[in-house]
Amino acid sequence: MLAFKDGDTASFGCLFDRYKTRIVNYCRRFMNDRETAEDMAQEVFLRVYRSAPKYKPEAAFSTWIFKIATNVCLNELRRPKYRYSTESIDVSKTGDGDPPLEIADKLGIAPEEAVARKELDAVVRRALEELPAKQRAAVLLRIYDGFSYEEIAKQIGKSEKSVKALIHRGRNMLKAYLKDYIDREPER
C-alpha cells in the first residue's frame, strides 16, 4: 500500500490479487448474497484506491482493509431494500438456485461430502443471519479470517473487551441455533 501511495500503480494490482478472494468471501458471509458481496468488494477496493493519498500504516494492512469491508457491509445493511436482483456472469448456480457460499477451491471432493457441506453451509448461513450486525462482523472476522481481538476492535470501532463479549455472545447464539443440527444423529 505504501508503494501504491508513492505512485507505483502496479502495487494496487498486487493488493487486489492478494485480498480479493478474502474480501469477497467475507462480504458473502456477511451479506449472504453473492451479487451484493461482489458489489461490496468492489466498493471496498474503490475506497482503498481513493484512500491511498491519506493512508497511514498505523495497523496491519489487513486490519485496515477489513475495517473498510466491515463498514461497507454495515452501511449496506442500513440501506433500504431497493436493490434489484442481477445475475453474476462468473458464478455458476447449483441445482437448487443457490450460488456457492465461497469461491470454489480447486480440490475435488466426494459427492456425499459436497452434499453434507452444502447442507451445513445453509444451516450456518441462516444461523449467522440471526446474529446482530456487529456480532456477525466480530464472529466472521475472528472465526473465518483469524483476526486477533485487538485487530477486530480496530476494524469495528469497539474496545477489545467489547469484541470479546460480542464474540462470546455470538458463539453462544450460534451454538443455540445449531444445537439441533449438531445433536442430530447422522443418517445412514
> What CATH number does the domain containing 165 carry?
1.10.10.10
- Which of 55, 88, 121 terminates a domain? The answer is 88
64 and 122 in a single domain? The answer is no
Both 125 and 181 in one domain: the answer is yes
Judge if 75 and 156 occupy the same domain. no
Residue with cell 451479506: 31
Domain boundary among 40, 55, 88: 88
In a domain, 95, yes or no: no
Residues 82 and 123 reside in one and the same domain: no
Please tell me whether residues 80 and 115 are part of one structural domain. no
3-state secondary structure string across 54-69:
HCCCCCCHHHHHHHHH
Structurally, the chain folds into a number of domains equal to 2
pLDDT, tens digit, for every residue of 151-167? 999 888 899 999 999 99
Angle between helices 61-78 and 9-31 (to 10 degrees): 50
Residues 143 and 180 in one domain: yes
In the structure grid, which three cell numbers stand for residue 140, read together? 466472521
Q: Is residue 14 part of a domain?
A: yes
Query: What pLDDT, in 10s, does the model give residues 40-88?
Result: 999 999 999 998 888 888 888 888 999 999 999 988 888 776 444 444 4
Indicate yes or no: pTM above 0.95. Answer: no
Is 176 part of a structural domain of the chain? yes
Predicted local distance difference test score (pLDDT) of residue 82: 40
Decide if 68 contacts 48 (C-beta within 8 A): yes
Q: For residue 102, tell me if it sits in a domain.
A: no
Count CB atoms within 10 A of the CB of residue 151.
Answer: 22
Q: Are residues 84 and 117 in the same domain?
A: no
Range of the domain at 19: 1-88
Average pLDDT across the chain, whole number: 81
Largest CA distance in the chain: 60
CATH number of the domain enclosing 51: 1.10.1740.10
Is residue 104 domain-resident?
no
User: What is the pLDDT, as a whole number, of residue 87?
Assistant: 45
Q: Are residues 26 and 78 both part of a single domain? A: yes
